[in-house]
Amino acid sequence: MAFPIYSINLTMIKINNLSKKFGHLTAVENISFQVKPGEVLGFLGPNGAGKSTTMKMITGFLTPSAGEIELCGFNVNDKPIEAKQRIGYLPEGAPSYGEMTPLQYLEFIAQVRQLSGQKKIERNKEVIERLHLDKVLNQSIDTLSKGFKRRVGLAQAILHDPEVLILDEPTDGLDPNQKFEVRELIKSISPEKVIVISTHILGEVDAICSRAIIIADGKILADDTPDGLRSKSSSDKMDDIFREITSGKIS
């Protein structure tokens, strides 16, 4: 028998037959997928495809109508606190408490995440450096630009160095330089983590994702590496491939 260190399949996110209905509207219909450590999964799809709804279910904000979600071995609905401790989440639009300063806000998150002492100081210093927040630390979040608000939201998500990172449109509203920096940040933390991002920007998939799931009308239309997707289409451009898949020309 083999030594069992690597024989355990370290799947961090396991989703089985997940559905979400809002009244008569089916936002997510029977989707299943798994994500392993080191993977950066890009969630692509037209507006209203069910990307955000799926992410909200993974993070425990929405309760699924049917199906199971397991995070690092914890069922999100049965063990919500344990699951939430392992996630960093940037919700769509990066909501936060506007009357606080980034410094106060990070202190609050650190307390919730039970960081203390040297560890807290180190993590604080690192996220402030990585997201270039040092100049705005003592300004209330309400008065910050959209780009800074997004970066404060990202800082909040990665502060506790989570095993699973769920980012809903992390680069939305950032200028090209900031986009580049956020992508570099995601790349630098990806090797040992699971990262799921949703995006409209298809170039981002090539830049950072090791795998892409295309969803529309709540269903998974494609689940492949960026190169795998490319091989299905006559075109080499991600935009064309996306359009072909979501309009039903190829599957």
**Which residues are near another protein by CB under 8 A?**
56, 59-62, 80-82, 84-85, 87, 89, 91, 93, 95-100, 104, 108-109, 111-114, 140, 156
The minimum distance between CB 111 and another protein, in angstroms, equals: 4
Strand partners, 35: 13
Q: 10 or 112: whose CB is closer to another protein?
A: 112
Token digits of residue 39: 């993977």
Q: 48 or 95: whose CB is closer to another protein?
A: 95
Residue whose pair of structure tokens reads 């650190």 in the numeric block? 110
List the end-to-end C-alpha distance of the chain, in Å, as a whole number.
41
The minimum distance between CB 165 and another protein, in angstroms, equals: 12
The minimum distance between CB 90 and another protein, in angstroms, equals: 9
The minimum distance between CB 217 and another protein, in angstroms, equals: 20
Q: 22 or 180: whose CB is closer to another protein?
A: 22
Kindly report the number of other CB atoms within 10 A of residue 92's CB atom. Answer: 16
**What does the DSSP assignment read for 88-111?**
EEE-TT----TTS-HHHHHHHHHH
Query: Which residues, including other chains, have CB under 8 Å from residue 223's CB and lie 6 or more apart?
Result: 33, 211, 212, 213, 214
Is the Cβ–Cβ distance between 167 and 196 less than 8 Å? yes
| Nearest one of 218, 214, 224, 217 to 245, comparing CA atoms | 214
The minimum distance between CB 223 and another protein, in angstroms, equals: 25
Determine which helix (DSSP H) or strand (DSSP E) holds 184, and give its type and residue range.
Answer: helix 176-189
The minimum distance between CB 96 and another protein, in angstroms, equals: 6
Q: 160 or 211: whose CB is closer to another protein?
A: 160
Q: 18 or 221: whose CB is closer to another protein?
A: 18
Q: 105 or 242: whose CB is closer to another protein?
A: 105
